[in-house]
Chain A
């Protein structure tokens, strides 16, 4: 069974139909890229998975998203549980600026009651920061505010914050779009490392990035899923004309 199964997913903002009948399966322990030009619905698709889309009062969703076979849109489900299954990293690094580096990572497990005591929390924070390749850079500054970190460090802190909840999958919404090339390549390396233990879905408007990091790729265009497959396949022998034009840079 795939980790995530999306079937007949539609989304609207008001009257605007932004996701049109999406069907998609995301296997385990891979990097799955969703690429497409700006405004094609990639970020919406990501937010439809963890139901963050519902923060927008104009958004409406129909269809099914299953994680490990559980429908996240079922009436009986606890939405906070759903969101904890998906760690999320955003386009603009968004650590809580008033909280310390430590607290940014600790806040999720602490407020969700996932740890029993302080030492368990300390261990979890250390583990998450190590996983995000940040521990060595911040281990002496854990009490300092997150706002003192560089953009790339802040983004890795956000990855640590997501990991600390022990999610089943990590959603990344253009995680390198606001970083310089060095910081961006660090995040890409980190993703390849994390793939050992996690499934990562990355949204990107940059086909080169999708080609570099992903195992599977889906091409989204104007709310429709045009093509999906193994990355090497899609980039070398695209089935659809639109995909071919996109990967060679003619649209987007």
Chain B
């Protein structure tokens, strides 16, 4: 074997090893969370109130799960609607100054510390009402996910061949019909993926919730103007507590949260896989 071949082999070996190393944390996290947490998860765990710290039954994460589902749903509706139309604008009016600046701002927003967004929601929706509330949490999560959804929707529409746009317009269809019906059905997988990424992001964020929803223990949902709980927030609070039983609930909640996020990502992968033109 000559020197050049040897160098190639060593190079390939090194980068393969590094690729494996970078994938280790994902598997380590999944194995760790499931081995620690899965044993606490049962149907009643998903429904019940959290246990008292010392005595009483095993308890569960009912309020946090319900809260998370409400927050994810609401954030996806608000952030999805705004993000979708923003993304459509960025794709179709990319020549305008407004679109160019908007895109730049969204790219900055993707990198924004989410605790700052939580603080902003606190100052506009919590402090004036003098009450932590579910809507402030959904509002903060919406702001977090808008750039993700908008930039991905933009990609989805950008990927439509120009000749299909011409075809749609040549049929004498109006702008809304072309973009929201004919071309949306071409781009639907990309758009759906954008929404799923937004959902996963909304489901996993903790920082925007710390200063907005407060967290509840014994109520599921009392209205959008009332405090609510969410799984990431429960994990944060319980893991910091000194009680062994709450630590167990936090592990179980982590397994549930991980399952929700993985499910969303697996769906989005399946959706993407089907793309073909």
Q: Is the CB of A83 within 8 A of B169?
A: yes
Residues from 127 to 184 in B contacting A, C-beta threshold 8 Å: 161, 163-174, 177, 181-182
B114 in the interface (beta carbon within 8 A): no
Query: A201 CB to closest chain B CB, in angstroms?
Result: 14
Q: A57-B95, A97-B186, A111-B181 are in contact. Are A84 and B171 (CB under 8 A)?
A: yes
A158 in the interface (beta carbon within 8 A): yes
B residues within 8 A CB of A87?
Answer: 170
Q: Report the bound CA distance from A91 to B181 in whole Å.
A: 24
Q: Is the CB of B171 within 8 A of A90?
A: no
Q: Report the bound CA distance from A170 to B177 in whole Å.
A: 22
B residues within 8 A CB of A82?
Answer: 172
B residues within 8 A CB of A183?
Answer: none
Q: Is the CB of B169 within 8 A of A165?
A: no
B185 in the interface (beta carbon within 8 A): yes
Interface of A is mostly: mixed
Interface string of A137-177 (1 = CB under 8 A from B): 00000000001000000000010011001000000000000
Q: A96-B186, A107-B182, A147-B277 are in contact. Are A52 and B177 (CB under 8 A)?
A: no
A99 in the interface (beta carbon within 8 A): yes
Q: Is the CB of A111 within 8 A of B166?
A: no
Q: What is the interface size of chain B, counting residues whose CB is below 8 A from a CB of the partner?
A: 22
Query: A174 CB to closest chain B CB, in angstroms?
Result: 12
B residues within 8 A CB of A111?
Answer: 171, 173, 177, 181-182
Q: Is the CB of B161 within 8 A of A94?
A: yes
**Chain A-chain B contacts (Cβ-Cβ < 8 Å), number:** 70
Interface size grouping (class) on chain A: 20 to 34
Q: Is the CB of B172 within 8 A of A83?
A: yes
- The residue on B at minimum CB distance from A162 is B170
Query: B173 CB to closest chain A CB, in angstroms?
Result: 6
A residues within 8 A CB of B177?
Answer: 111
A108 in the interface (beta carbon within 8 A): yes
Q: Report the bound CA distance from A98 to B161 in whole Å.
A: 13
Q: Is the CB of A94 within 8 A of B167?
A: yes
Quick one: which of B163, B173, B276, B277 contacts A80, CB cutoff 8 A? B173
Query: B197 CB to closest chain A CB, in angstroms?
Result: 22
Q: A96-B186, A111-B181 are in contact. Are A83 and B277 (CB under 8 A)?
A: no
Residues from 57 to 107 in A contacting B, C-beta threshold 8 Å: 57-58, 80-84, 86-88, 90-92, 94-99, 107
Q: Is the CB of B277 within 8 A of A97?
A: yes
Q: Report the bound CA distance from A158 to B166 in whole Å.
A: 12
B residues within 8 A CB of A199?
Answer: none
Query: B228 CB to closest chain A CB, in angstroms?
Result: 40
- The residue on B at minimum CB distance from A171 is B170
Query: B180 CB to closest chain A CB, in angstroms?
Result: 11
Q: Is the CB of A80 within 8 A of B172?
A: yes
A55 in the interface (beta carbon within 8 A): yes
Residues from 207 to 251 in A contacting B, C-beta threshold 8 Å: none
A50 in the interface (beta carbon within 8 A): yes
Q: Is the CB of A108 within 8 A of B172?
A: yes
Q: Is the CB of A83 within 8 A of B170?
A: yes
Q: A57-B95, A111-B181 are in contact. Are A80 and B165 (CB under 8 A)?
A: no
Q: Is the CB of A52 within 8 A of B166?
A: yes
Quick one: which of B169, B172, B173, B277 contacts A55, CB cutoff 8 A? B169
Q: Is the CB of B173 within 8 A of A112?
A: yes
Q: Is the CB of A96 within 8 A of B174?
A: no
Residues from 86 to 127 in B contacting A, C-beta threshold 8 Å: 93, 95
Q: Is the CB of A88 within 8 A of B170?
A: yes
A residues within 8 A CB of B277?
Answer: 97, 147
Interface string of B36-71 (1 = CB under 8 A from A): 000000000000000000000000000000000000
- The residue on A at minimum CB distance from B94 is A57
Query: B69 CB to closest chain A CB, in angstroms?
Result: 31
Q: Report the bound CA distance from A1 to B168 in whole Å.
A: 31
Q: Is the CB of A52 within 8 A of B172?
A: no
Q: Report the bound CA distance from A147 to B161 in whole Å.
A: 14
Query: A144 CB to closest chain B CB, in angstroms?
Result: 14
Q: Report the bound CA distance from A108 to B277 in whole Å.
A: 21
Q: Which residues of A contact B (CB under 8 A)?
A: 50, 52, 55, 57-58, 80-84, 86-88, 90-92, 94-99, 107-108, 111-112, 147, 158, 161-162, 165
Q: Which residues of B contact A (CB under 8 A)?
A: 93, 95, 161, 163-174, 177, 181-182, 185-186, 276-277
The list of the 6 closest CB pairs from A to B, nearest first, reads A84-B172, A83-B172, A88-B170, A108-B171, A94-B163, A80-B172
